[in-house]
Amino acid sequence: MPEEPPALAPAVEVAPPPAERVVVSSVTMPGNGTAPTSAVPRASDSDRIRPEPVFFRLGAGYGAVGQIDLDACRDRGLDPGYVHMRVTFGGEGRVARAIVESLEQPPPAALMCISERLEKAAVTVPPFEGGDVTLSKSLYVATGGLGPAVLVESDVTPRAGAGRMTLAP
């Protein structure tokens, strides 16, 4: 015998729940001290013009270190010859610290002289952003106020026509 499909149950309509009243309130937290604000959106920072970063000027740093004259420190015990210095500049542009490398340990009076020369020469660079910057430079301390013997006792005479340049096609 063929089976008959089951009889469908009559559909019961369910009434929607009654609409409830919803209240929205602002809550001020204790200690905040601010009154509730209106819902005005804050302006976007994406349109704000930001200043360009100020980088360390390498040429100004080497130029400032190159201006230091250590010949006066020779009288306080600094040995003549080459002295290698590492000078660290802080973000405000002034010398933060310096390290002196030489063949012999300079006496404390010579180191104090170098410190005074750095301060007296007002070795500074334009202020910059970021961390400290350290530059290395070798300086020559002359024996009698003259430069290195290679430069002072040069026996090379200039050639005639020096400085002219001819370009061939």
Q: Which of 42-46, 75-79, 140-144 has the highest mean pLDDT?
A: 75-79
Does the pTM exceed 0.85? no
Chain mean pLDDT for the chain = 74
Residue 2 resides in a domain: no
- Confidence band for 166, pLDDT divided at 50, 70 and 90: very low
Residue 31 resides in a domain: no
The three state secondary structure string of the chain is CCCCCCCCCCCCCCCCCCCCCCCCCCCCCCCCCCCCCCCCCCCCHHHCCCCCCCCCCHHHHHHHHHCCCCHHHHHHCCCCEEEEEEEEECCCCEEEEEEEECCCCCCHHHHHHHHHHHHHCCCECCCCCCCCEEEEEEEEECCCCCCCHHHHCCCCCCCCCCCCCCCCC
Residue 127 resides in a domain: yes
- Confidence band for 57, pLDDT divided at 50, 70 and 90: very high
Residue 23 resides in a domain: no
Residue 121 resides in a domain: yes
Q: What domain range is 134 assigned to? A: 58-146
Count of the separate structural domains present in the chain: 1
Residue 101 resides in a domain: yes
**Taking 60 as the threshold, does the pLDDT of residue 108 lie above it?**
yes
